[in-house]
Structure formats: structure tokens, C-alpha cells
A = this chain, B = another copy of it.
Amino acid sequence: MQFFEKLRNASQRNDSLLCVGLDSDPSRLPGPLKGRPAGQLLFNRALVEATQDLVCAYKLNFAFYEAAGPDGLTALSETRRAIPAEIPVIADAKRGDIGSTAEQYARAIFVSLGFDAVTVSPYLGGDSLEPFLSHGDRGVYILCLTSNAGAADFQIPHDLYLRVAAKARQWNSRGNCGLVVGATHPDQMAAVRRAAPDLPFLVPGVGAQGGTAAEAIAAGRMENEPGLIINASRSIIHASMGEDFAEAARREAVRLRDEIRSALQR
């Protein structure tokens, strides 16, 4: 099954556009799990159990696992396995390298680790993305407009983000291409939607980073289907530092899922 079909199915099953980012910071684990070698994995398992009926996807940012050394890499692959097979999992790795090297990253992420989709950086151009795109059943979200202040350094001048969106449409011959568009720039997100009416968005920047779901939906939705999913990480997974962390995460996930649902009704 194609990634975007799997995502659509999961989204309809749970009536949700919420992607929970399992960007689990080992230094911010709740008391009982902190400092344990398997702490990150146990934390994630509890979060998945508490939220799996509320999400359309999970996203794992590789940095938080790589920073934890060998235990972190075990946590990464075991967390991916702990997620029910029908829920797609996105590798938020932001990789980008020349073709022969990109092939190695694609194999690591799609084959060895078994992720359904990946985030990639466009700086090295089309031939650096083709090794990911050639896995036609996996999704490839290309960084377009990121949610941080530094987006103003190179992405916005000369409309680089819109040129990335236009190229991504050309690279979408297999229908497996999406764009990362941050919720913190709603006006520019609307411009990306006009430039790429047919490309699904992965929207970070809601919650801790200050973007709102309502603005993202208004700016980024497609004509006949939502066409975007909204990720929140810290605001959900670190909602409580106490033993009630899983219930707190569930409460915050329900709240955001419903906020997204209401915004869609407008």
C-alpha cells in the first residue's frame, strides 16, 4: 500500500489529523523512568498506548535517539515496532546527501528500520532525493518552510521555499511526495498551497513553537480533502513530568485533535 493511502486510512479510522511527535528527550523523562537504560522506550510505549486511538501517525525525530547513544538507537527501532502496524510512522531525520550516500540513508530508514515515511532536506537537489523517492510505497516529506526563525535566512529570500514546492511537484511522479510547512508562517503556508495544490503537508510548529491549528488548517487545507497532518511533540509528550505523564499526554492529544476537528468544520 502507498504511504499516503495508509495515512488516509489511519486518519479516517481515528477521525484525526493529529501526528504525535515522539521526540522524547532523555533528560526530561518522568521521575520513575529517568536514568533507566530503557527509560526512553518505556516512556514511548506508554505514550503510544495512551494515544493510538487519537492519531493518524507518529513521528520520531532521530536526534533525540542518536543523542542517547546505543540505548537510544535500540529505543528508536523498538519504538517503531511498538506502534500498531496500521498507523504510519514518519522518520523525522531531515537527511540530505549525494546520491550514493542517500541510497544508504534510504536503506537504513525504510528497510532496516522499517519506517513508512521520511523527512529530507532539499539543499542538495533532485538527485539527492531520488534514492528516497524511488521507494514508491514510502512517503518523502521535503523540507519547504520550517517553523523556526532561521527560515528567514535562506528559505524566504528569493522565494526559495516556493521554488522547492514547485520542484517537489515535478518529483512527485510516484505520488509519494509531501512538504514540511511550519504552522508559524500561515501567510507563506497559503502561498505554498497555491504553488502546490496537490501535495500533502506535514505541519510542525503547533504547540510549544507557537503556531495554531486553526491558522494552519485555514492556510494549508486542500480543496476536497484535508491534505495536511499536524504534528505536536513537546506539548503532548512532556505535558506532565510526573507519574501521570501518559494520561496528561492523552488529555492534551484529545484537546488538540478536537481543536483540529473544529477548525476543519469552519
Which of A's residues lie within 8 Å of B, judged by CB? Answer: 23, 25, 61, 63-64, 66-67, 69-70, 73-74, 94-102, 104-105, 107-108, 112, 121-129, 143, 146-155, 157-158, 160, 163-164, 167, 209, 234
Report how many copies the assembly holds.
Answer: 2
Partner of A158, one of B64, B143, B158: B158
Residues B63 and A148 in contact, CB atoms below 8 Å apart: no
In contact, B61 and A101 (Cβ under 8 angstroms): yes
Cα–Cα distance between A167 and B153 once the two chains are bound (Å)? 8
Interchain CA distance A194-B153 in the complex, whole Å: 21
Report if A154-B101 is in contact (Cβ < 8 Å); known contacts: A63-B108, A73-B73, A148-B127: no
**B143 with A104: CB separation less than 8 A:** no
- CB-based nearest B residue for A208: B100
Known: A66-B105, A121-B123, A154-B164. 8 other contacts (CB 8 A): A23-B101, A67-B112, A123-B154, A123-B155, A124-B143, A125-B152, A129-B150, A154-B163
Pair A150/B126 contact, Cβ less than 8 Å: yes
A150 touches which of B107, B125, B158, B164 (Cβ 8 Å): B125
